[in-house]
Amino acid sequence: MDDWLTGLADSVWALPALFALVLGDAFLVVLPGETAVTAFGALAVSTGSPPLLAVIAVAAVAAAGGDVCCYAIGRRVGLERWRWMRYRRVQAAFAWARARLHDRTATVVFTARFIPFARLAVNLTAGAARVPAPRYAAVVSGAALGWAAYQAILGAVVGWLLPGGPVVAVVVSIVVALVLGWALDAVMARRVRRDAAPADILASTDIPAPADAAAQADDA
């Protein structure tokens, strides 16, 4: 396994694969964008390849590009085009983001960057709310760089502290990233609850069943 991970780290496809995962994570929150960056950070230290700065740069560009694409989708189609957008919890997330984006753009974007579903909701809402594109692109670029550096350096620190080769470094770094991500989700949910926002949007990606949505439609 060590040899396989070393070969993966040395492959010319390593960074393109990382870029694709992080970019795709902007649209499909089930993709392991965060854990991929953390794992590559661990590989950068334990095997020497790919370079840590390259991991951060590639992840930051992909993350910013994905956020800008989601912004463009929101600007183009709005927040009710597809059925999943009309579920109660999704609409609540959009409402939470819309109420804060114009006055607190940087705070909302930087917070949401670390919470996958919140990130998607904020990016779509920013586009639909016509937040100025140059301003939004600058903010998401800064947030993406901070996020990429955090994820990659987290993996690098774990890889540096733990002996045992790339397998141990990658596995432990992923576990640490998942635990810290869960803790961050919980903290942010509590903070949002104090701010009278729908905390369950940030703490969960659960979507109500279609029957629930149909019942709401009947009530309307």
| Residues 57-87 pLDDT 10s | 999 999 999 999 999 998 888 776 666 666 6
The reported pTM is: 0.73
Range 157-184 average pLDDT: 69
Q: Could you tell me which of 53, 56, 50, 22 has the C-alpha nearest to residue 36?
A: 22
Count other C-beta atoms under 10 Å from residue 8's C-beta: 19
Backbone angle region of 206, left / alpha / beta, with phi > 0 → left and psi within -120 to 50 → alpha: beta
Of residues 76, 93, 75, 96, the one with CA closest to residue 84? 93
Mean per-residue pLDDT for 149-161?
Answer: 87
Assign 104 a pLDDT band (cuts: 50, 70, 90).
confident
Torsion angle of C-alpha atoms 174, 176, 179, 180, degrees rounded to 10: -110
Top-confidence range, 28-42, 49-63, 99-113: 49-63
- Contact (Cβ atoms closer than 8 angstroms) between residue 55 and residue 168: no
Q: Using CA atoms, how far apart are residues 109 and 68, in angstroms rounded to an integer?
A: 12
Residues 6+ apart with CB under 8 A from 44: 9, 50, 51, 52, 55, 152, 155, 156, 159
**pLDDT band at residue 132, thresholds of 50, 70 and 90?**
confident
The pLDDT value given to residue 16: 93
Helix (H) / strand (E) element for 198: namely none
Distance, in Å, from the CA atom of 36 to the CA atom of 38, rounded to the nearest integer, reads 5
Give CA separation, 58 vs 8, 40, 44, in Å. 16, 11, 13
3-class SS at 165?
helix
Percentage, residues of the chain above pLDDT 90: 21
Average pLDDT over residues 189-194: 56
